[in-house]
Chain A
Amino acid sequence: MGFKEEIQSGNFVVTAEVGPPKGTDISEMKHHIKGLKGKVTALNVTDNQSAVMRICTLAVAKEIMDIGIEPIYQMTCRDRNRLGLQSDLLGAAIMGIKNVLALTGDHPVLGDHKDAKPVFDIESVQLLEVINGLNEGHDMAGLELQGATDFFAGAIVTPESIPFEPQFAKFKKKVNAGAKFFQTQAIYDMPKFMTFMERAKELNVPILAGILLLKSAGMAKYLNKFVAGVSVPQELIDELAPFKGEDALKKGIEIAGNQIAQLKEVCAGVHVMAIGAEDRVPDILAAAGL
């Protein structure tokens, strides 16, 4: 069964993600992807993540498919206007890509080409509607396509966003715009997340909780300081604090495994972000008892 079928039949799904490198040497990336084969239902490929220029998403999605994993094609609206987005979507369709994750994208000033002209011709909610349109056989201008797409479109939500109400209102808009699944921003505060899940019930849409592997207490503090919508509770920082290097990583794997175990009954699945430690995703899943 593919990612869509697994989700729709209510099976607990695991996704992970791969960040394309900056440059043409993809040996390490391929090694990471190969290590995830058979361990995850699908693999996200990020799109110039954090507004840092890297290999394009489509080319890496192809590598993922060649290795034998189903990709989730992340598409941001930062770097392409409506022509570019739609034509890349058609390209993705003929390559056999089925899943698209519609994102707005980080602003260029957060990345490594700060002087770039931001595009944002459309944004995540509108992109979801565009994908629906392509699935129905027409483009944004209302013109008929010679062959429609058949994408399974998803989106993201940040459950720990402050303030929460505007974020929740946008989450609802994404559901109305046709998002069929959600992956969340990294979550750490379980009680807060459970409250979110309780409220999300009415929308009846599969949610994959975002699990970001903590590699050290320093990383946790960095996330708290610099990443919007992510807050690592002090208890977790204290748990990591005595450890360094591989030991800290092991502790982080244990924490992530624990989180997943708690989420098994609550969520449709988990989205594991290991950022550079993709080869440890199997360890995380083992720690979760999956």
Chain B
Amino acid sequence: MIVAEPKSLDEIKAMVDGYDRVLMVGCGTCVEVCLTGGERSVNLTATALRLARKVDGRDIEVGEQTVIRQCDFEYLDEVKDADKYEAIVSLACGVGIQGIARKFPNTPIFPGVNTTFMGFNEEYGYYTEMCKGCGECILHLTGGVCPVARCAKSLLNGPCGGTNNGKCEIGSDKDCGWVLIYNKMEQLGTLDKFKEINAPKNYGKAGNIRSMDLRK
């Protein structure tokens, strides 16, 4: 799923400073799972924003709605009465935020979250990055552990000199992806594949302005 973290109330408040009626729209899929953008988050954020503006002596009206997904016009059709508001704050991932911006092209849209990564739901409240969407999956070469996302340098041929007791040089709270890969390949009995030199990646496939067209 896509993981996002909430923006601070101060930042959201500053973004909507010029408005007195805003609609806050949550997304009920990925960002709901990571406790950032679902109905509950919309309610908490909207309440906090109203309170903060009240303290400033400038009340703000904040409408609350949550749709199943903001990355799809089908669900965006369910957003009601947007024309009654001056601006929209979206608590969806960056895709959803742009989706709602396209749905309401004349309304200013503000991001209420920072979209961070594609990750795994390790346990309630804890998510880890797993994939960078590189466009050229090589998980079969690395024991099912992604070196692009799980090595801090996206190395393709083994651990760097900074690997430290299974942890990464960028922080002792982060597992070294290449030690994970080595251990997994050892477990699978595929270490002979570890010896092969993996070629440089085709970063053309990880480039910008990508699309996929299955319409034919």
Instruction: Write the residues of chain A forming the contact surface with B, with a CB cutoff of 8 angstroms.
Output: 78, 82, 104, 106-107, 109-110, 118, 120-126, 129, 140, 156, 158, 161-163, 165-167, 169-170, 172-173, 176-177, 185, 228-229
Extra A-B contacts (4), CB below 8 Å, given A176-B197, A177-B197: A104-B160, A107-B169, A161-B163, A229-B161
Is A123's CB under 8 angstroms from B161's CB?
no
Does B178 sit within 8 A of A, measured CB to CB?
yes
**A169-B153 contact given A126-B199, A129-B197, CB 8 Å threshold:** no
Q: Which residue of B lies closest to A108 (CB)?
A: B170
Nearest CB in chain A: distance from B169 CB, A: 6
Interface residues of B in 145-202 (CB under 8 A from A): 152-166, 169-171, 178-179, 182, 191, 194-195, 197, 199-200
Contacts of A156 in B (CB 8 A): 161
Is A162's CB under 8 angstroms from B165's CB?
yes
Does B126 sit within 8 A of A, measured CB to CB?
no
Does B124 sit within 8 A of A, measured CB to CB?
no
The complex places the Cα of A165 from the Cα of B195 at a distance, in Å, of 12
Contacts of A107 in B (CB 8 A): 152-153, 162, 169-170
The complex places the Cα of A170 from the Cα of B153 at a distance, in Å, of 15
Q: Which residue of A lies closest to B191 (CB)?
A: A169
Is B178's CB under 8 angstroms from A104's CB?
no
Is A228's CB under 8 angstroms from B163's CB?
yes
The complex places the Cα of A176 from the Cα of B182 at a distance, in Å, of 19
Is B164's CB under 8 angstroms from A228's CB?
yes
Contacts of B166 in A (CB 8 A): 163
Is A167's CB under 8 angstroms from B195's CB?
no
**A123-B170 contact given A167-B163, A169-B195, CB 8 Å threshold:** no
The complex places the Cα of A172 from the Cα of B197 at a distance, in Å, of 10
Is A126's CB under 8 angstroms from B157's CB?
yes
Minimum-distance CB pairs A-B, first 4:
A170-B158, A228-B164, A166-B182, A125-B157
**A125-B182 contact given A107-B152, A161-B163, CB 8 Å threshold:** no
Number of A-B contacts (CB under 8 A): 93
The complex places the Cα of A110 from the Cα of B166 at a distance, in Å, of 18
Nearest CB in chain A: distance from B177 CB, A: 11
Nearest CB in chain A: distance from B142 CB, A: 12
Q: Which residue of A lies closest to B167 (CB)?
A: A228
Q: Which residue of B lies closest to A157 (CB)?
A: B161
Count contacts on B: residues with CB < 8 A to the other chain. Answer: 28
Q: What are some 25 contacts across the A-B interface (CB < 8 A)?
A: A82-B200, A104-B153, A107-B152, A107-B162, A118-B152, A120-B155, A122-B200, A126-B157, A126-B197, A126-B200, A161-B163, A162-B164, A163-B166, A163-B179, A166-B159, A166-B178, A167-B163, A169-B195, A170-B158, A173-B158, A173-B197, A177-B197, A228-B164, A229-B161, A229-B162
Nearest CB in chain B: distance from A142 CB, A: 12
Contacts of B191 in A (CB 8 A): 169
Contacts of B162 in A (CB 8 A): 106-107, 110, 228-229
Contacts of A229 in B (CB 8 A): 161-164
**A170-B156 contact given A107-B169, A121-B200, A125-B197, CB 8 Å threshold:** no
The complex places the Cα of A122 from the Cα of B200 at a distance, in Å, of 6
Contacts of A109 in B (CB 8 A): 170-171
**A166-B165 contact given A82-B200, A125-B197, A140-B200, CB 8 Å threshold:** no
Nearest CB in chain B: distance from A141 CB, A: 11
Contacts of B158 in A (CB 8 A): 125, 166-167, 169-170, 173
Contacts of B164 in A (CB 8 A): 162, 228-229
Contacts of B169 in A (CB 8 A): 106-107, 110, 228
The complex places the Cα of A106 from the Cα of B160 at a distance, in Å, of 9
The complex places the Cα of A40 from the Cα of B177 at a distance, in Å, of 38
Q: Which of A120, A129, A185 is close to B154, meaning CB atoms less than 8 Å apart? A: A120
Q: Which residue of B lies closest to A166 (CB)?
A: B182
The complex places the Cα of A110 from the Cα of B113 at a distance, in Å, of 28
Q: Which residue of B lies closest to A185 (CB)?
A: B161
Q: Which of A124, A129, A140, A169 is close to B182, meaning CB atoms less than 8 Å apart? A: A169
Is A120's CB under 8 angstroms from B163's CB?
no
Is B197's CB under 8 angstroms from A166's CB?
no
Is B155's CB under 8 angstroms from A173's CB?
no
The complex places the Cα of A48 from the Cα of B186 at a distance, in Å, of 35
Q: Which residue of A lies closest to B199 (CB)?
A: A126
Contacts of B160 in A (CB 8 A): 104, 123-124
Contacts of B157 in A (CB 8 A): 123-126, 170, 173
Is A120's CB under 8 angstroms from B153's CB?
yes
Contacts of B153 in A (CB 8 A): 78, 104, 107, 118, 120, 123
Nearest CB in chain A: distance from B145 CB, A: 12
